[in-house]
Structure 1
Amino acid sequence: MIRKLLAIVPLLAVAFCSSAQEKKLTIQDAMLNARTALAPQNLSQIQFIYGSEDYVYAKPIGGSPVWYSGNAKSAEKAFLTLTQLNQRFRAAQRDTLQAMPFIQFNQGADWVIYTGTEKIALNPQSNKVRVLVDKDAATKQHAEESSAGYVAYVDNHNLFVSKDGDKFQVTTDGSSDIVYASSVHREEFGISKGTFWSDNGKLLAFYRMDQGMVTDYPIIDWTSIPAKNVNIKYPMAGDKSHHVTLGVYNAETRALVYVQTGEPAEQYLTNIAWSPDNRFVYIAVVNREQNHMKLNQYDAVNGKFVKTLFEERDEKYVEPLVPMLFLKNDPSKFIWQSNRDGWNHLYLYSTTGKLLKQLTSGQWEVLDVKGFDAKGGSLFYVSTEDSPLTRNLYALNLKTGGSKRITSGSGVHNTQVSSSGKTVIDNFSNISLPREIRLLSVAKPSDVKVLLRAENPLQAYAVSAPQLITIKSNLGDDLYATLYKPVGFDAAKKYPVVVYWYGGPHAQLITNSWNGGAGDYWFRFMAERGYVVLTVDVRGSDNRGKAFEQSMFRNAGTVQMEDMLRATDYLKAQPFVDAANMGLFGWSFGGFVTTNFMLTHPGVFKAAVAGGPVINWRFYEVMYTERYMDTPQENPEGYAATYLSNRVEQLKGKLLLIHGQQDPVVVQQHSVDFVKHAVDKGVQVDYMIYPGHEHNVLGKDRAHLYQKVTDYFDLYLK
């Protein structure tokens, strides 16, 4: 299937850009307008209305959004105007709104409305309003409401729970060292928040993180006069890590217990889940070494350990990312995601801990679970079964074990499923199609209603479309890449080259989607300026199976550089490539491998840009680093080999380092350390900072950054 895809796509890409094109992209077009004026047309906030097969979206009418609705059989019509919404607000004796708010119609029978100052639920039949998060709580940190009307939030470091204006302070010892109800473990293991309400909305599980033992790390606030230091807690690899426990608060009885997760204190409490009967809390407990996981059950009343349902071990690392999912119609069974067979798949378990069966299998990855149909007999999931470059929706019959593909067309399908499980909104694109939004029948996926077919937003511009190509690694793995040829390409000429990569876990640059998966048009911008541009996913990248990612274990960068050599071999074999003028660019992990490659293989690239680069894994955080590198004490050879400052004298080409000065992820010490060693060794490097920015340079300054990178390559490659 992939070979067919790659044979067809270049022809489509050529045809796609063959029409008359006059305008040229500016850096503002490429970096800022790519997400606004030059983004493919969309149906704003499209979603299903809960309990129906009707969809709604916000359509701009006369400068003000109007919600329109439709379904598979009926034409679209106006559904809700601001005037009509305000009539409902007046009926509920609420203040009217000056602008149409964001509304969720798919969360239940009530419409969930964000007014700007609070979050409310409006019943469309009775016009009665329930306040979900009031004005006071909405201004606090981590506010989250429950199904029973309680709201949890953090104020002045402590956890509070309120309802109907009555609030109770759950904790009293919160501080910068004792952190409540926030994400923990540096947001690894899929952790993105710190509060977890039970199904009945009366019990709250929450994280408590003691980071008093973690060393302070200075981040300078340069906006103050004089500048001042703002300390953050940053546990570096091999050092002490924070201690996390899980509290359970009963909002009705106001009883508080802590789950007895035991020793050692330095362990990871991940993937929190409640049992459907609200009696138990489940935690995937991972040891600090990250090679052993226990799925544990705890009593929510007294916090006591009940049992371990099962364990997973791996000689390299385990990384549970998704909590258990209980079957809709059988609370004695749940679904667990694991890559234990080499690929992320779904497994059916009983709450006794017995494995009942593996639900999906094959050399492809389950990427997302969309939920059950109304009866609970089918489960919808997204996978790469068709190709690592694509995303498709499937319906799994839990009784028979059979799966049915719902979406059609090779590309990336971003989908929503109606509450009944009968209808799907499919937001589809591929490398030659900017966007097509379709309404599909699950029973008969060939029944399609096209809601939007977006035109090419770049049709007036002289740009180069990407071509999907495949490069073989030295082990025979397919390395997917996109190639942009210069605008006005002349096969008789030789062109300078820019290569962009990342190469680390949890990132995939290349997909068969609009713009090749890139979120901006900088690659096209560079092709417009006469460059050949290559982006490539090397080993270590996401969604290619466990072995593909774990190949970097204990030796970060080694396999990535091997694959980059194969990519450069491919480029050098092209008669239109000027191999003497090639540039390399990467950010974060990509900044690490870029710097590493320039030192390890001097002369291949004439110039390089490394943004937010990891220079010494000893300086990086415990959770991420120790997963892929073990500790510095366990793997001294691996850490020594990847301490790039110690090899600065091997640099032969031009290197620009860029860093956000308030970066709390890859702290600035990395690049500063490299510059210091360069000075000591008499090696010239270039350096640019972005004050006020963290790990990613965002907003209008992003255009400035990419102009800086462009100018650097223009200076040394042309």
Structure 2
Amino acid sequence: MTHRFKTFGLAAGLLLSSAPVAVLVPAAPAVAQQRQSITLEDIWAKGTFAAKQVQGFNWMRDGRYYSSLDKGEVVQHDVTTGQATQTLVSAQQLRPAGSQQPIAVEGYEFNADEQKMLFSTDVEPIYRRSSKANYYVYDRAGQKLVPLSAGGKQSYATFSPDGRRVAFMRNNNLFVVDLQTMQETPITTDGQVNKLIHGGGDWVYEEEFEVSKAFQWSPDSKQVAFISFDESRVPEYNMQEWGPLYPKDYRYKYPKAGEPNSVVSVSVYDVAAGRTAKMDIGPETDQYIPRILWTQTPNLLSIQRMNRLQNKLEILHADATTGKSSVAWADTDKAYVEVTDDLRYLKNGKQFIISSERNGYRHLYLFDMKGKLVKQLTQGNWDVSEFLGIDEAKGLAYYLSAEASPFERHLYRVDLKGKGKQRLGESGGGTDVVNMSPDFRYYLNYHTAANEPVTVSLRTAQDGKAVKVLEDNAALKQRMKDYGFVPQEFFSFKTSEGVQLNGTTIKPANMEAGKKYPVLMFLYGGPGSQKVLDKWNSVDYYTWFQMLAQQGYVVAIVDNRGTGGRGAAFKKATYGQLGKLETIDQGEAAKYLGAQPWADKARIGIFGWSFGGYLSALAVTKNADLFKVGISVAPVTTWRYYDSIYTERFLKTPQENPSGYDDNSPVQFANQLKGKLLLVHGTGDDNVHFQNSVAFTDALVKANKDFQQLYYPNRNHSIYGGNTRLHLFRQMTNFLQQNL
């Protein structure tokens, strides 16, 4: 359920009224007749509306070229023209010894001098971000392909900065391979499943801190820093895997709110000496180490330390040889501090840049190595959404922000004195995602808007001008016209409490004056999330919403309090009582939408997944009079069942805040259900356990409430694979047609 937990501040001067207004997207012209009809098969079986991307993109070290995957081959392109210049590795060169077939490349990277490459194949997902694969090392000069290791699949294989070695994790232990001899040396040997992990995150770190790979090469390639997770005290969760005559048990460590977490330690391995030193992270064991990062100073490791309540984040600087550490910087908040990847150390060895919400919006700050503020680099009533890095030769910091509008994200740069701020790229709305070249001369820009699929362009960092459009999805844009896609329309309104909420709608084409239409509200609503954005949404929901609009439904999305785009105060308003204000706001949104001349207020439904599933279940019980139907997919139904890091960040522990856990649990309000409910869950959900829907089902049965339920055997939190999504969305469509 994790998000990057960024907020994007409301731009000063943005005019928002209490009536629906299209603040970003012009209304579509009237269509004389319905175009081709969108089908579920178009969305889930045929890929009719899938957007094209640029696959396997990698910047090359000299700044003149980049590479990409093309039909299993690695092709080099000229940065200045975007034209292919040569095939670096052909498919035939990727045949293992004794095989007539090349490996199926799923990922690749170069070493430092780009003479060796790592290829991954047979990738096997574990959880959301973790995986293991067969890695191969390819020598470009000798045109030789060899397995990285013969000991089984590996995880997170990574070249050393000098390109002479590769470190990886296997079976909870760390290893390093010398590429000249292909000799494999274990860094650790005592790793054990469900007990001790070296170099890889445990389940909750992976899900909530986005830590899967938990080791880092030092810049001089002499040392490997790694995090170890002692899971021995963490309770196990047991899922049954259905299929055989006797179902199998799958057990893994999952710390629910208030339960013991892994005890974490940080160590540094000296490659030449074969010696490991433990870093001093303090005497407290009930804490988090969400990040480690080598500084630009030799032998100096940066360690981020956070207390269990997550309202204090510290940076420790540790001597990698002795392990001695000291606190260099700290950030505190009355609610919580978010972990990001925004920390960068300057090559001068004297300063670092990090982001903070200490003034109510996320901004970039320059500090010296002792934590003394040198300069606040960005400021204003808006947030930096991502820090992309520093061009130290020119003294420029690059970042994405919502300065233009809370609905948008664009690329900016500013100098290290906090001056000369400049927006790069084209003017106008939409959302940009940026991949900067290592030398900060060029960047790859992925631009979308609410009604425009992605355009991928190569641009210069000097002025943001386009060098070449690599993918414009022209065919998809024409297909959208052929199928009569209607535009999203953005609006805002004020609730009875005077809270301004933003939303967007997708309406049927050629709506008839005086006719009342059913409304389906879609929501996620979790802390720091944002669904109301001038951004192309995924095929999953957006195209289904277009299909529903063709069938006569209005689809509406409203971001409640607690979501991003409005600053820290708006986002953290829900602290300590998840579900309370969110449900109030979604109820206010239902009233507002129901009062529109085109809406049938007696036919309003609500649909959400994960946190959205939680809120939809809460909405149809606590606000039962407002919603005729609800679809709740993979919901949390009591926060007591969810993981420690996410839940305690927003609610403290259940021991400290029991009412925060129970007062807004759908289980407590099952007896208030009046409308129709469809409850959906995968039995193999390692994230939001099926246990949540079991508890809600039990409460609904005890309350003698009728409802419909779908469970998908062995499917995880995303509920996909084969015909699964097609089947699920057919059931949801049928449910709406029959009940809304």
Normalising by structure 2, report the TM-score: 0.87
Equivalent residue number for residue 125 of structure 2: none
- CA drift of 1:449 comes to 4.7
Deviation by residue 1:186-239 (Cα, 9 ceiling, x = unmatched): 332343321122112221111211121122221111123201222221212122
In the other structure, the counterpart of 1:640 is 662
Equivalents in 1 of 2:101, 2:399: separation in Å?
38
| 1:152 alignment partner AA | A
Question: 1:69 matched to which residue of 2?
Answer: 77
Asked if the contact 2:153/2:170 (under 8 Å) is kept, the reply is: no
1:80 to 76, 86, 103: 86
What residue in structure 2 maps to residue 216 of structure 1? Answer: 236
> Any conservation in 2 of the 1:503–1:560 contact (CA below 8 Å)?
yes
Within-5 A mapping of 1:87-486? 98=102, 101=105, 109-110=113-114, 112=117, 114=119, 116=121, 118-120=135-137, 127=141, 134-136=148-150, 139-148=153-162, 149-163=164-178, 164-175=181-192, 176-184=194-202, 185-187=204-206, 188-305=208-325, 307-322=326-341, 324-327=343-346, 329-373=347-391, 375=393, 377-399=395-417, 401-408=419-426, 409-445=428-464, 449-455=468-474, 456=477, 457-474=479-496, 476-486=498-508
Give the match for residue 712 of structure 1: 735
Which moves more between the two structures, 472-481 or 335-344? 472-481
Determine the C-alpha separation between the residues in 2 that align with 1:22 and 1:452: 26
Name the aligned partner's letter for residue 36 of structure 2. Answer: K
Instruction: Pick from 546, 561, 566 the counterpart of residue 588 of structure 2.
Output: 566
State the superposition RMSD in angstroms.
Answer: 3.2
Preserved CA contact (<8 Å) 2:528 2:571: no
Query: Which residue of 1 is the match for residue 124 of structure 2?
Result: none
Q: What do residues 33-63 of structure 1 show as CA deviations (whole Å, max 9, x unaligned)?
A: 5xx4422344444554432355555667xxx
SS at match of 2:227: strand
Question: Following the alignment from structure 2 to structure 1, what is the Cα–Cα distance between the partners of residues 322 and 73?
Answer: 50
Q: Secondary structure at the match of 1:159?
A: strand
Aligned-pair distance for 1:569?
2.4
1:168 and 1:45 map into 2 onto residues whose CA distance is: 30
SS in 2 for 1:551: helix
User: Number of aligned pairs?
Assistant: 702
Alignment of 1:638-717 (within 5 A): 638-699=660-721, 700-717=723-740
Letter in structure 2 aligned against 1:658:
V
The DSSP-based 3-state class of the residue aligned with 1:12 is coil
1:87-118 deviation per Cα after TM superposition (whole angstroms, max 9, x unaligned): 9889x999997489567689865274526453
Q: After the TM superposition, which residues 470-619 of structure 1 pair with which residues of structure 2 at under 5 Å, given as runs?
A: 470-474=492-496, 476-515=498-537, 520-619=542-641
1:489: how far off?
A: 2.4
- For 2:716 and 2:470, the matched residues in 1 are separated by 39
In the aligned structure 1, how far is the partner of 2:381 from the partner of 2:98? Answer: 55
Shift in CA distance, 103/129, structure 1 to aligned 2, threshold 3 Å: farther
Against the structure 1 CA distance between its residues 694 and 518, is the aligned structure 2 distance closer, same or farther, given a 3 Å change threshold?
closer
- 2: CA distance, partners of 1:316 / 1:474: 26
What secondary structure does 1:320 align onto? coil
| 8 Å Cα contact 2:580/2:664 also seen in 1 | no
Amino acid of the structure 2 residue aligned with 1:345: H
2:506 maps to a residue whose letter is: Y
1:50 aligns with 2:84: no
How far, CA to CA, are the matches of 2:480 and 2:640 in structure 1?
A: 45
C-alpha distance in 2 between matches for 1:505 and 1:138: 40
Evaluate the alpha carbon distance shift between residue 28 and residue 508 of structure 1 in structure 2; reply closer, same or farther with a 3 A threshold.
farther
Q: Distance in 1 between matches of 2:425 and 2:653?
A: 44
- For residues 515-547 of structure 1, what are the alpha-carbon distances to aligned partners after superposition, in whole Å with 9 as ceiling and x for unaligned? 599764111111122111112222222343221
1:474 Cα deviation (Å)?
Answer: 5.0
Q: What letter corresponds to residue 186 of structure 2 in structure 1?
A: Q
Other-structure match for 1:28: 41
Counterparts in 2 of 1:269 and 1:529: CA distance versus 1, 3 Å: same
| 3-state SS of 1:458 partner | helix
| 8 Å Cα contact 2:24/2:429 also seen in 1 | no
Supply the distance in 2 between the matched residues of 1:145 and 1:69 (Cα, whole angstroms).
23
DSSP 3-state at the match of 1:331 = coil
The amino acid across from 1:114 in the alignment is F
Instruction: Give the match's secondary structure for 2:615.
Output: helix
Instruction: Return closer, same or farther for 1:177/1:59 CA change in 2, 3 Å cut-off.
Output: closer
Say whether the 8 Å CA contact 1:466–1:515 is kept in structure 2: no
Q: 1:47 to 1:475 in 2, by over 3 A?
A: farther
Unaligned runs of 5+ in 1: none
Cα shift readout 1:139-169 (whole Å, capped 9, x = no counterpart): 2233333224333333333332222322222
Q: Taking structure 1 as reference, are residues 41 and 589 closer, same or farther at Cα in structure 2, changes over 3 Å only? A: closer
CA distance in 1, matches of 2:301, 2:15: 47
More displaced, 480-489 or 248-257? 480-489
What is the Cα deviation at residue 172 of structure 1?
2.8
The answer on whether the counterparts of 2:171 and 2:191 sit within 8 Å (CA) in structure 1 is: yes
- Bigger Cα displacement from structure 2, 102-111 vs 576-585: 102-111
Q: Distance in 1 between matches of 2:504 and 2:348?
A: 46
1:39 aligns with 2:50: yes
| 1:71–1:147 Cα change, 3 Å | closer
Distance (Å, rounded) in 1 between the aligned partners of 2:94 and 2:183: 24
Local SS of the residue matching 2:350: strand
Q: Mean alpha-carbon deviation: is it higher for 665-674 or for 431-440? A: 431-440
How far apart, CA to CA, are the structure 2 residues paired with 1:710 and 1:142?
40
Verify the 8 A CA contact 2:603 2:627 in the aligned structure 1.
yes
Three-state SS of the structure 1 residue aligned to 2:457 is strand
Shift of 1:310: 2.1
Counterpart amino acid of residue 468 in structure 1: F
Cα 1:24–1:86, aligned 2, differ >3 Å: closer, same or farther?
closer
- Structure 1 counterpart SS, 2:26: helix
Where relative contact order (Cα < 8 A, 6+ residues apart) is larger, the structure is 2
Q: Partner letter of residue 80 of structure 1? A: Q
Higher mean alpha-carbon deviation, 133-142 vs 430-439, is at 133-142
Q: 1:426: Cα distance to partner?
A: 2.3
The answer as to whether partners of 2:135 and 2:157 remain within 8 angstroms in 1 is no
Between the aligned residues of both structures, percent identity stands at: 30
511-520 or 672-681, larger mean C-alpha shift: 511-520
CA distance in 1 between counterparts of 2:561 and 2:661 reads: 19
Structure 2: distance between partners of 1:242 and 1:102? 32
For structure 1, which segment, 221-230 or 464-473, has the greater mean C-alpha deviation from structure 2 after superposition? 464-473
Q: Distance in 2 between matches of 1:428 and 1:267?
A: 39
- Give the letter for the 1:393 counterpart: L
User: Aligned in 2, Cα 1:601/1:143: closer, same or farther, shift over 3 Å?
Assistant: same
- Distance in structure 1 (CA, Å) of the matches to 2:233 and 2:165: 33
Task: Read off the aligned partner of 1:174 and give its amino acid letter.
Answer: G
